């Protein structure tokens, strides 16, 4: 089975601060990381490979420093990594990005053979659109399932997936090839291993770089030019003043009830919740 996993190299939003004078984001000194929601996707791909064999290819459309993120994926055990980098790709919205990623998958198929599955983190911490996996599926005309927590191979060219939603669990059988969005925190990502990291550093062929001269996409369809999204206006959300309240509960249940009384506004719902939890 050949699985590709998309990776986004994002600013560590924990480190992003707002300039108190200008109200704009301070990006200086903010290190980038692999989008944390991509890690369960990498883990899902690796688990599948470890059970049924095949290879996992990580790919990212990003400027060159993103190699560091691909190294992390390789360190976790991904077989090879492709960095898709070109100035013409800069400034892309999700439409233009997914167009490049979809075409990259087509090229991966040409170079390495049939791709059975493309997995992505459900969303990214820097924009949270959750557009990419669905849009890639559209470009490829592949089926798409999202909020996926578990994948099992269920026969020739078929997988069984579990989607966990707030109220219920769904199981689907999906024809391959397919695109999956892996739910946040669905799986615990494995750590980087010494051998994998060594291989990533020593094997010169393990990280491949493609530019648009490899993908040969129409420059009008990629990057800023290919992005129909227009940011009309951004509004700073006023910071919600935080109130501190100290409550000394008699016991844990009393404390829990007090918290419920603070966070659940609707009285009926509150009573229902308390009744369901403690039968009172």
CB of 11 to other proteins, least distance (A): 10
Compose the 49-78 pattern: x for residues touching other proteins by CB under 8 A, - for all others. -------------------x--xx--xx--
Interface with other proteins (CB under 8 A), residue from 141, 155, 167, 195: 195
Interface with other proteins (CB under 8 A), residue from 194, 231, 235, 246: 194
Q: Does 23 bind other proteins (CB under 8 A)?
A: yes
CB of 246 to other proteins, least distance (A): 14
Binders of other proteins among 122-181, rule CB under 8 A? none
Quick check: 132 and 108 in contact, CB under 8 A? no
CA distance 9 to 82: 13
Interface with other proteins (CB under 8 A), residue from 33, 62, 83, 217: 33
Quick check: 222 and 214 in contact, CB under 8 A? no
Binders of other proteins among 216-255, rule CB under 8 A? 239
Residue number, 190 or 270, with CB nearest to other proteins: 190
Going by C-beta distance under 8 Å and a sequence separation of 6 or more, which residues neighbour residue 157? 116, 175, 176
CB of 42 to other proteins, least distance (A): 12
Structure tokens at 238: 């006023």
Quick check: 40 and 182 in contact, CB under 8 A? yes
Counting Cα atoms < 13 Å in the Cβ hemisphere of 145 gives 21
Residue number, 106 or 198, with CB nearest to other proteins: 198
Q: Near other proteins by CB under 8 A, which window of 100-108, 123-131, 159-167, 194-202?
A: 194-202
Angle among Cα 74, 76, 80 to the nearest 5 degrees reads 25
Please give the distance of CA 113 from its chain centroid, rounded to a whole number. 24
Q: Near other proteins by CB under 8 A, which window of 89-97, 185-193, 207-215, 217-225?
A: 185-193
CB of 79 to other proteins, least distance (A): 11
* DSSP assignment letter at 9: E
Residue number, 39 or 145, with CB nearest to other proteins: 39
Structure tokens at 166: 């707030």
CA distance 101 to 126: 18
10 Å CB burial of residue 96 (0-12, 13-18, 19+) is: buried
- Under the rule (CB under 8 A), what is the footprint of other proteins? 12-21, 23, 29-31, 33, 68, 71-72, 75-76, 185, 188-189, 191-195, 197-199, 201-203, 239
């Amino acid at each position: 089975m050949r699985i590709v996993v998309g990776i986004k190299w994002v600013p560590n939003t924990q480190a992003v601060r707002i300039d108190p004078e200008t109200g704009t984001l301070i990006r200086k000194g903010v290190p980038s990381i692999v989008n944390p929601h991509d890690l369960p996707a990498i883990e899902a791909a690796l688990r599948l490979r470890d059970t049924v064999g095949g290879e996992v290819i990580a790919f990212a459309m990003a400027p060159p420093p993103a190699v560091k993120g691909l190294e992390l994926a390789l360190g976790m055990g991904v077989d090879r990594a492709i960095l898709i980098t070109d100035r013409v790709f800069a400034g892309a919205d999700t439409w233009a990005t997914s167009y490049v990623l979809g075409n990259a998958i087509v090229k991966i198929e040409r170079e390495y053979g049939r791709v059975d599955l493309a997995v992505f983190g459900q969303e990214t911490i820097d924009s949270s659109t959750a557009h990419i996996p669905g849009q890639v599926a559209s470009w490829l005309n592949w089926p798409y399932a999202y909020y996926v927590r578990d994948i099992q191979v269920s026969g020739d060219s078929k997988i069984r997936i579990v989607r966990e939603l707030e109220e219920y669990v769904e199981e689907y059988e999906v024809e391959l090839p397919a695109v999956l969005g892996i739910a946040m925190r669905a799986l615990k990502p494995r750590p980087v291993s010494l051998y994998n990291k060594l291989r990533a550093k020593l094997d010169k062929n393990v990280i491949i770089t493609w530019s648009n001269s490899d993908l040969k996409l129409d420059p009008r369809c990629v990057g800023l030019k290919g992005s129909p999204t227009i940011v009309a206006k951004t509004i700073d959300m006023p910071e919600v003043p935080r109130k501190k309240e100290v409550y000394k509960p008699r016991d844990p249940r009393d404390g829990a009830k007090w918290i419920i009384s603070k966070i659940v506004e609707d009285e009926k719902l509150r009573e229902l919740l308390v009744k369901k939890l403690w039968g009172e």
